[in-house]
A and B are shown apart, each in its own frame.
Chain A
Amino acid sequence: SQQGEEDPQALSIQEGENATMNCSYKTSINNLQWYRQNSGRGLVHLILIRSNEREKHSGRLRVTLDTSKKSSSLLITASRAADTASYFCATVIQGAQKLVFGQGTRLTINP
């Protein structure tokens, strides 16, 4: 099974609400990253959190990391229709020197 697994697989909310996506992983990591992908397009990097960090903010994004539980969450506040996309977590596994992606959460923001 893959290193990172997002939960839920799909999420549909109303515009203006907050969206929370979770990511769990299995092995020790150097850092964890979140990416966004609009349908059929490339991935865009959103935020990176290092293993010694617990929380990070970027605009309407808030990422937390709990290394004891091997989990991370991405919170998007005050969602907009333009936030509709798939969101992926990716981990840099210690010693593996490569980025491993999860299967993603498909987020739909309804106007």
Chain B
Amino acid sequence: ETGVTQTPRHLVMGMTNKKSLKCEQHLGHNAMYWYKQSAKKPLELMFVYNFKEQTENNSVPSRFSPECPNSSHLFLHLHTLQPEDSALYLCASSQESGRVSGELFFGEGSRLTVL
């Protein structure tokens, strides 16, 4: 139990589908993150939310739409994805963003396959 819960753990979708990934943290943290992990590539930071406000969008295509209704929940809405978007999507949280001086707590990830 990591304190950061991601659902679903596995998702298969077609290119025309709309789906969402959900992340919930039970650690009382103020910052939440989405990372993408593809084979043979470093972790790519996608989005950062600090106190529910988006503070980083790392040039992510608009077919990925994040939502952060409160400091404990983070969503990643997916629509008209491409096969190359297949990857492990990792959610993380930390005490604060802005000054990343501490550790990140990761969820177990959502394995996405786009057909």
Contacts and interface: CB of A to CB of B under 8 A. Distances in A.
Bound together: yes
Interface of A: 2, 4, 30-31, 33, 35, 40-45, 48, 88, 92, 97-104
Given A2-B42, A42-B2, A42-B4, A98 B100 contact: yes
Contacts, number: 58
Given A30-B101, A43-B104, A48-B102, A101 B42 contact: yes
B42 A103 contact: yes
A43 B109 CA distance: 9
Interface of B: 2, 4, 6, 35, 40-43, 45, 48, 56, 88, 90, 92, 97-109, 111
Nearest to B88: A40
Contacts of B92: 43
Contacts of B105: 45
A30 B45 CA distance: 18
Contacts of B2: 42, 44
B90 A43 contact: yes
Given A33-B103, A98-B48, 9 more contacts: A2-B42, A30-B101, A42-B107, A43-B106, A48-B102, A92-B101, A98-B97, A102-B42, A104-B42
